[in-house]
Structure 1
Amino acid sequence: MIYVFLANGCEEIEALTPVDILRRAELPVKTVGVGSRQITGSHGITVLCDIQDKDADPKDCEMIVLPGGMPGTLNLERSPIVQSFVDFAHANDKWIGAICAAPSILGHKGLLKDRKAVCFPSFEDQLEGAEILEESVVKDGKIITAKGVGVAVEFGLKLTEALTSPARAAILKDSLQCAR
């Protein structure tokens, strides 16, 4: 199962675009509301999540995804459940995806030390120990980071590639009419 955690104040495009792409790839995805199934993003769009965080089960987790946005990223980081899923994913060699400001959560936990990563400009100092790259989306080990809303499709495709194959992600990219 892929768990995409949404907290109040999240960036809606960064949260829902990867969900859409992963579902188009026919991968099992659940949106997880932090504190409630109903989450309102940073632009006033309210989403009814599939489940609430207290109902997510780490035992069936293959990947977690953390969208950015403010104060969404701060609300994710304050959540003990989100923190426990990040710890579980890291300890059990599961995939972690984080976009925009959300890689800062991983940086604060020391999970980016000696790894390549990216984030929204101005959050680089939060990626403690990481080598900051110029790319839009970076995969290093089982961690995928992305710069922000403008690369949400690319981020979703990289998450798909990690769980399927480059060929499957390329087919999906073509079907979405993405620029080459």
Structure 2
Amino acid sequence: MVRTAVIFANGCEEIEGLSIVDILRRLNIECDMIGLDSLDITGGHNIRFKCDKLISNDLLNYDMVALPGGMGGTQLLASNIDLQNIMKKRFANKKWNAAMCAAPLAFSKFGLLKQANYTCYPGFEKNISRENPQATFVDDLTVIDNKNKLITSRGPATAMSFAYAIAQTLQCKTAEIESNMLYTYLLKKSRD
């Protein structure tokens, strides 16, 4: 069975993290909500929720680990040594990892973006390129770097695109749920 995890820290962008959990669970993909240092999380917009577990070395066994953005949450994720060590091991073991909005800044600090194709919240690529001059910023909703097993995305409005990319990378068909959730309708209307 495919296992996924979303890592939450206080100050996270709620829509980004919870959209991933919601969509993956709708697709019957196991998705654990993992608290950085507490099960009780208060997001950047004062939405409170409870995680299933705390970070541990068990994260090494997940097929995909995703980090939502939000500057407050990202700063906590990026400064957590335990998470940094786990993510470095996951990367070395060629496990899939995903981050969106501000969270690619944590990936940058962890050394995961050294030669990767990535995207992030507009403007943050300047900080990332200073730390990772070999990394290539791509101006797209969601970027999948198969070589480095990384998925990145832009910000709150791209949360669904990000979640579907995660599911598709895990070999899950998403067309029906994209239609049922009116995602395909939204994309069609935005092109009209």
Q: Same fold (TM over 0.5)?
A: yes
Query: Is 1:156–2:166 an aligned residue pair?
Result: no
Contact 2:4–2:31 (8 Å) recurs in 1: yes
**Equivalent in the alignment of 2:181:** 176
Structure-2-length-normalised TM-score: 0.87
- Aligned-partner Cα distance in 1 for 2:116–2:36: 28
TM-score, with normalisation over the residues of structure 1? Answer: 0.93
CA contact (8 A) 2:101 2:154 kept: yes
What residue number does 2:151 align with?
Answer: 144
- Whether the 8 Å contact between 2:13 and 2:73 is mirrored in structure 1 is yes
Q: How does 1:13-162 map onto structure 2 within 5 Å? A: 13-54=15-56, 57-127=58-128, 128=132, 129-141=134-146, 142-162=149-169
Percentage of pairs with the same residue: 36
* Rg larger for: 2
Q: Contact 1:108–1:126 at 8 Å: present in 2 too?
A: no
Q: Deviations over 1:147-171 (max 9, x none)?
A: 0001000100000000024xx1222
Structure 1 segments unaligned to the other structure (5+ residues): none
Distance 2:59 2:157 in 1: 30
SS at match of 1:57: helix
Contact 1:68 1:102 in 2 (8 A): yes
Partners of 1:124 and 1:3 lie apart in 2 by 25
Asked if the contact 2:87/2:110 (under 8 Å) is kept, the reply is no
How many Å apart are 1:172 and its aligned residue? 2.1
Q: Secondary structure at the match of 2:71?
A: coil
Map of 1:2 onto structure 2: 4
Cα separation, partners in 2 of 1:59 and 1:74, compared to 1, 3 Å: closer
Distance of 2:89 and 2:102 partners within structure 1: 21
Aligned residue pairs, count: 177
RMSD: 1.4
Whole-angstrom distance in 2 between the partners of 1:85 and 1:63: 13
Contact 2:118 2:152 in 1 (8 A): yes
Alpha-carbon distance between aligned partners in 2 of 1:26 and 1:88, rounded to the nearest angstrom: 27
Instruction: From the superposition, tell whether residues 59 and 82 of structure 1 become closer, same or farther in structure 2 (CA, over 3 Å).
Output: closer
For residues 60 and 17 of structure 2, the distance between their equivalents in structure 1, rounded to whole angstroms, comes to 22
Check the 8 A contact 1:36/1:53 in 2, yes or no. Answer: no
